[in-house]
Amino acid sequence: MKRLSRILKIVQVFARYRLDTLFLSLSLPWYIRILIWLLPWRFIIPANKPEAVRVRLALEALGPVFVKFGQMLSTRRDLLPDALAEELKKLQDRVPPFSGIHAQQLIEKGLEQPVSELFAEFEVEPLASASVAQVHKATMRDGREVVVKVIRPGIGKTIRKDVDLLFTLARVVHAVWEEGRRLRPVEVVAEYEQTIFDELDLRKEAANGSQLRRNFEHSEILYIPEIYWDYTRSNVLVMERIHGIPVAEVDQLAEQNTDMKVLAERGVEIFFTQVFRDSFFHADMHPGNIFVSRENPSSPRYIAVDFGIIGSLTPEDQSYLARNFLAFFKRDYRMVAQLHVDSGWVPADTNVDAFETAIRSVCEPIFEKPLKEISFGQVLLGLFQTARRFNMEVQPQLVLLQKTLLNIEGLGRQLYPDLDLWKTAKPFLENWMKERMGPKGVYRSIKQQAPDWLEKMPHMPQLVFDALNQVRNLDNSRQRDIRAYQQAKDEYENKSRRRHYAGVLLIAAAIIAGNPQVIDYLQALPATSWVLAFAGLLLLFKRS
């Protein structure tokens, strides 16, 4: 019954915001187009606002699960038109807080102690609220200020039902729309499903936060709050409370004389450090999750929170991506195209010359300009869109990277519009490549692999002996196959010759039967001639 009411709610929102107009320009089967034209609300409700705006309003009306899905889609510029992606970026996770008393009960149940024993102070009024969880301020017994994050009650079941509906809609899109197969809507929903259900387990977020904190321990450019594991469960997370200025509050940053140029450059440095040094990057770095420390404005330090979404790259992806960026800086578009083929991001039979030309048309206009005039993220986006024309498969790790880079670039433009992101990033990438490919990198690789080599060394003689045996067995097997092939070939040739001689004899018999003179001649032959002819035939067939 609840599922039916949810479907009716979706239909109602679909009609209210006239989402049917989205489908009229698509290449749909004729019977689907007729059904859309006959929808009754088309003749009652006008479609006054732009389509992108109506999609955003519809998602907000459907609730938090659809809002978060729209937020995720806004990062998939490879799938959506630019106007729709920009509108979806405006989606706000506005959800009223649930009862603070109920939240306290959930915390006590999760930690198996009353809050009066867990904390010296606990504020029942929530500090912030979102679709999946809400946050309360508290003070530990030793005076440390913390925030307590608690998962909304029953949110798991709500998400499950809505995600199931999204899967149903995705399958319909895949079935009736020609472009559906290319956009792979079922895979997009599956990616969203994994992301949102990961957010329901706060231990995963806590683990991500702990790893980031270790990676930037004693760092002067980024601070990660401490996670209190003794007070963390799947539905409760206790973390150090931070005090900083939201990075979007430029006026407050200016009031304390923050060095905006340094702040913007450090944002770029943090991004490339996480991606290339650690291969573990905060993939949800929108302004709501980033703060700036009030200490030492001349050497500003970022503070990051909310570690539910983390990205990582394989060593191969790191290398190919770094070489791609450096090839961009050098305008070596041939190298960019070849790297896409070598990495397997595009098919091996891709026309590299045509791909190079397409990349040049995207990248050439952007060089030697300040950040306020160009968009590094848009260049990366343009490259991915170009590559998709050459059948590039969606790479989830690169999508997260693109999203993070767009966020970082947005922060840089807001803080210091004249920042030259290329100039800031190029030395970092060159140094990383030298360390990875130079003598130090080779030594580090050997040092890392040496224990495995030493462990396998005693087994090497046996492995070599087994390999030689396999080679010898393969050689013997090949010789047997050759002999069998030759024997079969000989038998086939013998049978062919027999059929040939039999055919000759039949033709001769036909000639004899049709010629009385030949018959008279044969009848006059002596018996010895017939014996010799028969013996000759026997020898002929025996040889064949």
What would the pLDDT profile of 259-288 be if each residue is shown by its tens digit?
998 998 888 889 888 988 888 988 877 777
Q: Which residues are catalytic?
A: 284
Task: Please give the average per-residue pLDDT across 44-51, as a whole number.
Answer: 79
Q: How many percent of the chain have pLDDT more than 70?
A: 71
Q: Which H or E run includes 303? A: strand 302-304
| pLDDT value at residue 454 | 62
pTM over cut 0.85: no
For residues 182 and 163, give the distance between their C-alpha atoms in angstroms, rounded to a whole number.
21
Residue of 257, 345, 238 whose CA lies nearest to 297 = 257
More confident residue, 76 or 347: 347
pLDDT higher than threshold 60 for residue 521 = no
In DSSP notation, 206-223 reads: HHHHHHHHHHTTT-SSEE
The number of beta carbons lying within 10 Å of the beta carbon of residue 233 is 20
**Quick one: tokens of 112?**
């198996």
What would the pLDDT profile of 103-138 be if each residue is shown by its tens digit?
999 999 999 999 999 999 999 999 888 778 899 999
For residues 10 and 33, give the distance between their C-alpha atoms in angstroms, rounded to a whole number.
20
What would the pLDDT profile of 155-188 be if each residue is shown by its tens digit?
888 888 888 877 887 787 777 666 556 566 777 7
95: buried, middle or exposed (CB in 10 Å: 19+, 13-18, 0-12)?
A: middle
For residues 295 and 124, give the distance between their C-alpha atoms in angstroms, rounded to a whole number.
30
